[in-house]
Structure 1
């Protein structure tokens, strides 16, 4: 489930910025060749960054990539580490819920004032802000879900499972992840079909 969600979020994130890069390329070519501008690349770039940031929040949460100051974490008693790990999940859930709640009021203000972008397109801001809110709601739902699981594990005495889920990523874990990724790439490369010209070259050499 986690891997599937990460794959889908990563795919959406990549597609957003691939589409943006293509738009910027077309905009640049049209300006250079025909002296014509779409007058919307900058605006769409801002929307892509806002939406992409919310997707990145969720990806970082699932991959335990949000920054934590863990200089003293490894040297603390195991029980205190468990409490701090649980506190990190609850703090992240509270922060994510607050962001989604404030974003909802931003959209309400945009709707009330009929706010539009200060660009030639004059896009009603409620539309891109709604997509932005959806990304924040997803981030909030994931953070609250992780905090709920962590709270259940804490109350049921499953401190090892809690620490495994929420422990700050160590350098050893990051190295292992990179090595596993390299191994998977090597395995995928080995499964590629070899060139049909190799036998003929060997035959010629013989």
Structure 2
């Protein structure tokens, strides 16, 4: 389930920016060759950035890549580490729900006032803002699911699993992930010589 959500969100993220890059390329060629501008690349770029930011929130949460200040985390007693890891998941879920709620009111106001962008296209803001809202709702749902799982693990006393899945990522985890990514991207399925040497040295 987690991998499927991450794959779909990552694909959507990439497609949006591929489409934006094609639009910018067309805009550049048309402006240079025909002295004509579509006058919308900047506007669509802003919408793409806002929407993809919400997708990135969910991807970062699923991949545990949100920044955690962990200078003292590993030096704290295990029980306190567990409490902080659970609290971080719950607080992030509460923040995500707050963002989605506030975004709902923004979209409602734009619909009520029939707001449009201050650009030549005069785009009704309710359309890009609705896509932005959907991204924030997805982030809220993912955050609530993550917080719910952390709470279940805490109540069941599965402390080791909770700390492993919700604690700050260790340097070893990041290195292992990079090596795995290199292995997956290699054409023959084999690690590059330097990566293989690093794996042997770590073992």
Question: Partner of 2:11 in structure 1?
Answer: 11
Q: Partner of 2:41 in structure 1?
A: 41
1:190 and 2:188 correspond = yes
- 1:114 corresponds to which residue? 114
Q: How does 1:146-165 map to 2 (within 5 A)?
A: 146-165=146-165
| 1:168 aligned partner | 168
Structure 1 residue 170, shift from structure 2 partner:
1.1
For the residue of structure 2 that corresponds to 1:115, the secondary structure is coil
2:192 paired residue number: none
Matched, 1:124 2:110: no
Question: What is the RMSD of the two structures over their aligned residues, measured on CA atoms?
Answer: 0.9
Task: For 2:156 and 2:171, locate their aligned partners in 1 and report how far apart those are by CA, in whole Å.
Answer: 30
1:81 corresponds to: 81
Runs of 4+ residues over 3 Å off in structure 1: none
1:139 to partner: Cα distance: 0.2
Query: Structure 2: which 5+ runs fail to align?
Result: 190-203
Q: Distance in 2 between matches of 1:138 and 1:55?
A: 8
Inter-partner Cα distance in structure 2 for 1:93 and 1:85 = 13
Which residue of structure 2 aligns with residue 25 of structure 1?
25
Shift of 1:152: 1.3
Secondary structure at the residue paired with 1:190? Answer: coil
Name the counterpart of 1:195.
Answer: none
**Superposed displacement of residue 51, structure 1:** 0.5
* 2:179 matched residue in structure 1: 179
What is aligned with 1:62? 62
Cα distance in 2 for residues equivalent to 1:117 and 1:185: 42
User: 1:190 & 1:133 partners in 2: Cα distance?
Assistant: 42
Partner residue, 2:103: 103
Deviation track 1:97-148 (CA, whole Å, cap 9, x = no partner) reads 0000000000111111110000111111001100000000000000011101
Distance (whole Å) between structure 2 residues aligned to residue 112 and residue 9 of structure 1: 30
Distance 1:11 1:149 in 2: 25
Aligned residues: 189
Q: Deviations over 1:156-187 (max 9, x none)?
A: 1111111111010111110010111112223x
Secondary structure of 2:66's match?
Answer: coil
